[in-house]
Structure 1
Amino acid sequence: MQPGVEILIAELGYAGFESFVENEDGVTAYIQKEDWQDNILENIQILNSGEFKITFNFSEIEQTNWNEAWEKNFNPIVVDNVCAVRAPFHDKFDTKYDIIIEPKMSFGTGHHETTHMMIQHILKNDLNGKSVLDMGCGTGVLAILAELKGARPIDAVDYDNWCYLNSLENVTRNNCAHITVIEGDANVLKDKKYDVIIANINRNILLQDMASYISCLNENGMLFLSGFYNDDISLIQTECEKHLLKFEEKLERNNWVSLKFLN
C-alpha cells in the first residue's frame, strides 16, 4: 500500500466519496455524479499538506450493463454451505437456501464482502415472523433471504431506480410473497416500525440516516450494518450508542466489517 492511502481514503470519505479500490498506484475513489463539485478536493488536507506527493485525475463513468458483464464473469457463491446465490443460467445448488439473482445495474450479488457478511448475519439469527427493513436493497438479495428465513412483512428500499426495478424482478423470480419494494430514501420510513433493520450502504449515509433507522426499530429489535471499514467502527458505534443501542457482534472480511446492534 502506498504511504498515506488510509488517510486519503478517510478524508475522501468525509468529503462524500462512497467506495474505494486500492491499487499499486494508490486508490480509485467513486462518488455519485450529483455529489461531485469542482472544488470538492480543496478541503482534503492531505492533498495540501506537502507531506505526501499526490497527483490525481477524474473522469465520469458511464452506466454499465452489469448484467452483461456478470454473465461473462460471474461464478455462483455459497455462503457457509447453507445459502447459494446464483444466476438463472446456473444449476441449482443442494443448499438449504437457493437464491436466483440477476443484478442488471444493481449492487448485491453476494460477492462483495459486505453482502457476504450480511448474508451470514441473516443466517445466524432467528427472523421467523419478524418484520424486516432492507435499506439500500440493491438486487433485493438480503430481503429475499430474510423471507426464506421466515421474516414477514419485509420492506426493501432503494433510492436508485435501477435497484428498485431489479429488486422487483428478483422478488418475483424467487417467488417471494411478503416483500414490498419501495423506491426512495430514509424519508419513506416515517411512521414505519421493524423488528430487524438491515442497512448495507456506506459510512456517510449510515451516519446521516442512523436516527431515522433507529426511530423505526422496535424494542428488542436487531440492527445489522455494513458498507464500511475497520477504521470506521468507532464512528458507527458512537452514533449507535448515542441512541442507546448495544453492540452485539462484529464480522470482518478483507478489512470490511459488519456490525450487529440490539435495541
Structure 2
Amino acid sequence: MQNYTEFNFKIQPLEPWNEILMAELIEIGFDSFTEELEGILAYIPTDLVNEENFKTLEIFNNENVKISYTFQEMPNINWNEEWEKNFSPINVEDKVLIRAEFHEPNPAMEEIIIQPKMSFGTGHHPTTHLMIQQMLEMDFKDKKVLDMGCGTSVLAIYAKMKGAKDVLAIDIDEWSVENSKENAERNNVELRIELGTVENLGKEKFDIILANINRNILISDIPTYVKDMNQGSELLLSGLCFFDVADILEVCTEQGLKLKNKQQREEWCSLLLEK
C-alpha cells in the first residue's frame, strides 16, 4: 500500500484560488483533494514530496493570493478501501441515484454510476444535488448541451440519459477529463469531452448550458455563455452561496437572461435562466 502525505493549505481569498491551486498541484504529483472552509487538504504519495516544486507553480508567486500550509505523513492505509467505506449513494428525490459500482442497484430509480478519482462532483456536495434536482424538470430531448466544469461528468451523463442529442463536457483538470471518459463508458453514454475553459467554445450554439463552478468564474464567463446560446436556450448555474445570487442575477440581467427558477439547499443555490 502507498504511503501518503497530507498537506493542509490555507488560502486567502478562497475563491477562485482553491480550484486553481488544485489544478496546479496535480502537475507535481498530488492526486486527491478535500475542500475545507479555509482551504483544501491535498494528498500526495510520500515518495513524491518535494517542497521545492512549489516554487515552479505560478500560484505561489501570485501577489493576489496568500497561501500557507502544514503537512503530515498519513497512516499506511488502503485509500481505495477508505473511499469505498465513506462514499454512500446519493438519492435525489427518489428519482435519481448516484452510486458507485460496488453499491446495490435500485431498478426503481434512474442510476448514474461513477468512480471519481477525486472529490469533485460525486453528488455529495449540495450544488451537484441542486443541479440534478433542477434537471429533473427540464426538457433535454434532442437538445445540444454544454457541461462547463464537468468534474466527474455526472451532469453531462444525466443530460444524455434524459435524451440530449449532443453533449460537450469541458474541464480545466486533466484528472476530471480522464475520469469523465471512464464514467461515460461506465454509463453507456457518448459524450464529447475536452480539457480546457470557455476559450474552447467557438461558433457552436447550445440549447442548454450547465455550469456548476463558482461565483467569480461564473461572473466572468456568463457573457461568453450567452453568446453561445440560442434564443430560448436555458442556462443552469450553481456553485453559489445565497449571498452570491444578487451579483449573479445582476450580470445575467445585463446579458438579457430571465430567471425561471431558483432553488436552495443549505446555504447553496441554483439558478435556472432563459435567454
TM-score (norm 1): 0.80
2:143 is the alignment partner of 1:130: yes
Distance 1:84 1:90, change over 3 A: same
Checking the alignment, whether the CA contact within 8 Å between 1:107 and 1:139 is kept in structure 2 is yes
Please give the alpha-carbon distance, in whole angstroms, between the structure 1 residues aligned to 2:201 and 2:84.
Answer: 35
Which residue pairs with 2:197 in the alignment?
Answer: 185
1:8-29 CA-to-partner distances (Å, cap 9, x unmatched) read x9x825774559744xxxxx23
Q: In the TM superposition, what is the alpha-carbon distance from 1:39 to its structure 2 partner?
A: 3.9
Please give the alpha-carbon distance, in whole angstroms, between the structure 1 residues aligned to 2:15 and 2:184.
Answer: 34
* Secondary structure of the structure 2 residue equivalent to 1:175: coil
Pick one of 59, 64, 80 that aligns with 1:40.
64
* Secondary structure of the structure 2 residue equivalent to 1:58: strand
Distance 1:41 1:133, change over 3 A: closer
TM-score (norm 2): 0.77
Please give the alpha-carbon distance, in whole angstroms, between the structure 2 residues aligned to 1:144 and 1:123.
Answer: 13
Unmatched 5+ residue regions in structure 2? 1-10, 20-33, 43-56
Please give the alpha-carbon distance, in whole angstroms, between the structure 2 residues aligned to 1:145 and 1:111.
Answer: 16
Distance 1:15 1:133, change over 3 A: closer
Please give the alpha-carbon distance, in whole angstroms, between the structure 2 residues aligned to 1:206 and 1:35.
Answer: 20
Unmatched 5+ residue regions in structure 1? 1-8, 23-27, 43-55
2:185 is the alignment partner of 1:172: yes
Checking the alignment, whether the CA contact within 8 Å between 2:100 and 2:114 is kept in structure 1 is yes
Pick one of 33, 58, 68 that aligns with 2:69.
58
Distance 1:94 1:13, change over 3 A: same
Please give the alpha-carbon distance, in whole angstroms, between the structure 2 residues aligned to 1:89 and 1:96.
Answer: 17
Q: In the TM superposition, what is the alpha-carbon distance from 1:38 to its structure 2 partner?
A: 6.3
- Aligned positions, number: 233
* Secondary structure of the structure 1 residue equivalent to 2:169: strand
Alignment of 1:1-263 (within 5 A): 12=13, 16-17=17-18, 21-22=36-37, 28-30=38-40, 34-37=58-61, 39-40=63-64, 57-59=68-70, 69-105=82-118, 107-177=120-190, 179-263=191-275
* Secondary structure of the structure 2 residue equivalent to 1:154: strand
Which residue pairs with 1:48 in the alignment?
Answer: none
Distance 1:39 1:257, change over 3 A: same
1:59-92 CA-to-partner distances (Å, cap 9, x unmatched) read 5899xx9865421200111101100010011111
Distance 1:91 1:210, change over 3 A: same
Distance 1:69 1:104, change over 3 A: farther
User: 1:142 is aligned with what amino acid?
Assistant: L
* Secondary structure of the structure 2 residue equivalent to 1:143: helix
Q: Structure 1 stretches (4+) deviating beyond 2 angstroms? A: 11-22, 29-42, 56-62, 65-70
User: 2:216 is aligned with what amino acid?
Assistant: N
* Secondary structure of the structure 2 residue equivalent to 1:146: helix
* Secondary structure of the structure 1 residue equivalent to 2:69: coil
User: 1:35 is aligned with what amino acid?
Assistant: I
User: 1:153 is aligned with what amino acid?
Assistant: D
Please give the alpha-carbon distance, in whole angstroms, between the structure 2 residues aligned to 1:15 and 1:38.
Answer: 13
Please give the alpha-carbon distance, in whole angstroms, between the structure 2 residues aligned to 1:14 and 1:153.
Answer: 31
* Secondary structure of the structure 1 residue equivalent to 2:143: coil
Q: Percent identity?
A: 42
Distance 1:30 1:238, change over 3 A: farther
1:225-249 CA-to-partner distances (Å, cap 9, x unmatched) read 0112011111111111110000111
Q: In the TM superposition, what is the alpha-carbon distance from 1:95 to its structure 2 partner?
A: 3.2
Checking the alignment, whether the CA contact within 8 Å between 2:96 and 2:111 is kept in structure 1 is yes
